[in-house]
Amino acid sequence: MDFRDERKEHAHIVVEDNTPGLLAYFLRRVDSPDDAADLLAETLLVIWRRRDALPGDHTQARMWLFGVARKVLLTHRRTLHRRSALHDKLREELASAPRSSTDDVDHLEVRDAIARLDSLDQEIIRLSYWDGFTLAQVARMLRLADGTVRSRHHRALRSLRETLGLSTLTR
């Protein structure tokens, strides 16, 4: 097996291992499962085109995949922002939709509380709690100093505790 085949095989294994996590990443960040599926497909296309840049270490490769996913998501958000009238209408419809259980309400309260945070703090909380990255990995993914991520994480948790009326937040 030559080097090129080894890179393809490595990319295939890493993508296969992380596709469920990437889909979950998008599902938690967009309103529509269809959008999440489209974003995943776009991310996989970018990853496949750039597979030669994929790090050899599995953890580093996972971080790289989520970095690509984050950039795809940011592009998607810019597109949505340009269509703000449609975006606002969709938000109103979702907000007025009836909820079937208290779990949904609790989940919505947490999502709303996170949505009130600064966008960078939202991403730090989501990457660490929802996607399972350590704060050091989050710092590398966002290209920020470890101390910056730790302090923003601490402040974001304090804000979430206050907003939700909780004494502690756990993973």
Q: What residue spans define the domains of the chain?
A: 1-97, 99-171
- Asked if residue 51 lies in contact with residue 8, where contact means CB atoms within 8 angstroms, the answer is yes
Q: Return the pLDDT at 87.
A: 46
Q: Return the pLDDT at 141.
A: 93
CATH 2.60.40.420, applies to 99-171:
no
Q: Return the pLDDT at 102.
A: 45
Question: In this structure, what token pair is assigned to residue 96?
Answer: 């007025």
Rounded Cα distance, 85 and 153, in Å? 32
SS3 56: coil
> pTM for the whole thing?
0.61
Mean pLDDT by 10 residues, the chain (171 residues): 76 94 96 95 94 92 96 91 61 62 62 90 91 93 94 93 73 50
Q: Return the pLDDT at 105.
A: 43
SS3 81: helix
Question: In this structure, what token pair is assigned to residue 166?
Answer: 């909780």
The distance in angstroms from the start CA to the end CA of the chain is 43
Distances from the Cα of 36 to the Cαs of 25, 46, 102, in angstroms? 8, 15, 25
Rounded Cα distance, 55 and 60, in Å? 6
Q: How many CA atoms lie within 13 A of 113 on its CB side?
A: 20
Q: Topology of domain 1-97, per CATH?
A: Rna Polymerase Sigma Factor; Chain: A (1.10.1740)
Nearest to 36 by CA among 45, 25, 28, 27: 27
